[in-house]
Amino acid sequence: MNEENNTESGGNPEQQPQPTEKTFTQADVSRMMAKEKSTGENSVLKMLGLSSKDEVPAFMETHKNRQTQLEAATAELNLAKNKSILAEKGVDPNYADYVMYEANKFLDEKNADTAPDFGAAADKFLAEKPMYKQQTTVPAPFKFSTGAGQTTNAPPKTASEQINENIRNSIKK
């Protein structure tokens, strides 16, 4: 009897009852997974500030619209910044769009190692084709006459006008 009490009270560790593993039915597992899924969805909805799944499509549409607006604003900002860079570089305003196109094309051609930004690409293009820079001309001095003879306040003739005048004069002779 004494030995029976020893084995029941745990005197011999080999004979102690092992904890039994709990088994779940497929229905139990499905129920637990549905609960975890619901908990996860609710935490994401709460994090986004939504109260139900029904608000998700409207939230996605709003997010898409904001993304589109952000991209448009970024493009507009880059355009203004690039025009400012070209103005600083002395590009003729009549050719600014073309120079911007060429500089962007240069960047798109994966020449980032030689021109890492728009300003450097514009510099490279303008070095190859300086004709697109604004031509700075000094205004011609005014001619005044004090009476006798012909007075002209007309601007001086361009080279092509002088050539045309010489040709006309040689024909008249």
Inside any domain, residue 98: yes
Provide the residue range defining the domain that includes 115.
53-132
| Position 153 in a domain | no
The answer to whether residue 48 sits within a structural domain is no
- 23 belongs to a structural domain: no
In this model, does residue 132 exceed pLDDT 60?
yes
Residue 67 lies in a domain: yes
Write the pLDDT tens digit of every residue in 49-90.
Answer: 888 888 888 888 998 999 999 999 999 998 899 999 998 988
Check whether 1 has a pLDDT greater than 50.
Answer: no
Nearest to 100 by CA among 127, 114, 79, 116: 79
Is residue 97 one of the residues assigned to a domain? yes
pLDDT, tens digit, for every residue of 148-159? 555 556 667 788
- How large is the average pLDDT for residues 151-171? 78
pLDDT score, position 166: 84
Lowest mean pLDDT among 14-28, 41-55, 105-119, 133-147: 133-147
**Can you tell me the distance from the alpha carbon of 106 to that of 99, in angstroms, rounded to the nearest whole number?**
10
Please tell me the distance from the alpha carbon of residue 163 to that of residue 167, in angstroms, as a whole number.
Answer: 6
- pTM for this model (two decimals): 0.48
Domain count, the chain: 1
Inter-helix orientation angle 118-128/96-108, to 10°: 110
